[in-house]
Amino acid sequence: MESSAVGESYPARQDTAPPQKSRWRWLRRGVALLLTLAVFAWIAKPIVLRWADVRDQVRMTSPLRVLVAALMFSLFLFAFRASVWRRILLVLGQRIPVAAATRIWSTSELSRYLPGVIWQVVSRIYLCRPYGIAGSVCSTSQILELSIFTLANLLLAIGCLMWLGWKTFHGAALGWLIGALILSPALLCLVHPRIFFPITNAVMKRLGKPTLGRPMRFRVLLGMLLWNILGLIWQSMAIWLIVSVPLQLQFTKWWVVAGAYSLAWCAGFLAFWAPGGLGVREIVFIAAMDAAMPPAVRKHFADPAVRVGFLAFLSVLLRVWATLGELTLAGIAFLLDYQGAMDRPDAPGRTALTAEPQA
């Protein structure tokens, strides 16, 4: 008999980790933090050393364009990220209001900047509890959402950079492009409903959790994948709006920034030791943009060190742009779902938690 995971109980957990393990955990976090700071120091070095040379290009960057692009990114996060996660929940038989889903999604996404790799998952599970969504269903939906979005980034990066990459890419950029070629078919197989849901249900049974009774059809998954790719194209328009003037990059070359940023996002996402991919995403973006930059744009930078220095500045600026967009969406979602944000029992969509049903 099929069973629903709604109403799964959550017994209180106590931290029983021995002091030795706790010290090792904080040591690992400290090392990861130091590594991230070292990477950012490496990124900042060419900006500082070549500031006199890149100053004019930096001044050409329009704050108004950055703000408009941040709003475009907020729309992207809502329409192509949070909405896809909510759609996955609906497929799994769980319904949650749009405002609440957006608030929960955006809050959990911001938590990825905390040291450690579990906060994004744990925070979303915790925030979903008042809406009667079991932790097993929430984590499954999040894994599927991130897998689809990662696959969309891989496919867009390959589509934009494949032909150009074999001729001009080298070093880290070439390595990540090859990695994208290898990872994309494996990930496509993994997220196929005939593979993903049997594996997930086997794990659920092993853990003593209710199985997922509504597997997703492949055409639904394919629609979400294509929707994510369309969203990434919209995202690339926002990035082009920021970099086009200082780089003098024509609109016909939007695919350069689209491919470079998607490849960099995948690198940052897979860099589990760096909170939010800090530093790693920037390094890969610099390498990919430096290799994919059109000759007409490259000629504006006679000194390669100046070119790298300005790309380093853009990589940091894009991090600021993305954070502004995330905070904007989170702020709007909190205003629209202030009852849920204040944990009020009369918030739309909330339901009482009950004991876990028997299959």
Confidence class of residue 301 from pLDDT cuts 50, 70 and 90? confident
21 falls within a domain: no
Listed in sequence order, the residues at least 6 apart from 191 whose beta carbon sits closer than 8 Å to its beta carbon are 144, 147, 148, 151, 221
In a domain? residue 240: yes
Burial of 233 (0-12, 13-18, 19+ CB in 10 A): middle
Instruction: Give the chain's radius of gyration (CA, Å).
Output: 22
The Cα 154–Cα 159 span in angstroms is 8
Asked whether the beta carbons of 115 and 96 are under 8 A apart, the reply is no
Percent residues over pLDDT 90 in the chain: 38
Higher pLDDT, 349 or 36: 349
Predicted local distance difference test score (pLDDT) of residue 233: 96
At residue 115, does pLDDT exceed 80? no
pLDDT score of 253 more than 80: yes
Instruction: Flag whether 20 is in a domain.
Output: no
Q: Identify which of 59, 133, 163 has the alpha carbon closest to the alpha carbon of residue 349.
A: 133
Mean pLDDT, rounded, for 338-348 = 88
pLDDT tens for 46-86 read 566 555 656 666 777 888 999 999 999 999 999 999 999 99
Which residues span the domain enclosing 274?
38-341
Which pLDDT score is estimated for 12? 44
The C-alpha atoms of residue 217 and residue 144 are separated, in whole angstroms, by 13
- Residue appearing with tokens 């609109």: 251
Give the model's pLDDT for residue 79: 97
* Position 278 in a domain: yes
Report whether pLDDT(353) > 60.
Answer: no
> Is residue 24 domain-resident?
no
Rounded to two decimals, the pTM is: 0.81
- pLDDT given at position 299: 81
Which among 34-43, 245-254, 305-314 has the top mean pLDDT? Answer: 245-254
CA distance 179 to 165: 12
Q: What share of the chain is helix, strand, coil (3-state, %, to 5)?
A: 75, 0, 25
Average pLDDT over residues 285-293: 87
- pLDDT tens digits, 154-212: 999 999 888 766 666 766 677 878 888 899 999 999 999 889 989 988 988 888 887 78
What is the distance between the alpha carbons of residues 132 and 96, in angstroms, rounded to a whole number? 9
Domain assignment present for 1 = no
In the chain, the number of structural domains is 1
pLDDT for position 10 = 41
Cβ-based neighbours of 225, under 8 Å, separated by 6 or more: 148, 151, 152, 155
Per the domain annotation, does 25 fall within a domain? no
pLDDT digits (tens, 9 = 90+) for 125-153: 999 999 999 988 999 999 999 999 999 99
Q: Above 90 in pLDDT, residue 272? A: no
Confidence of residue 354 (pLDDT cuts 50, 70, 90): very low
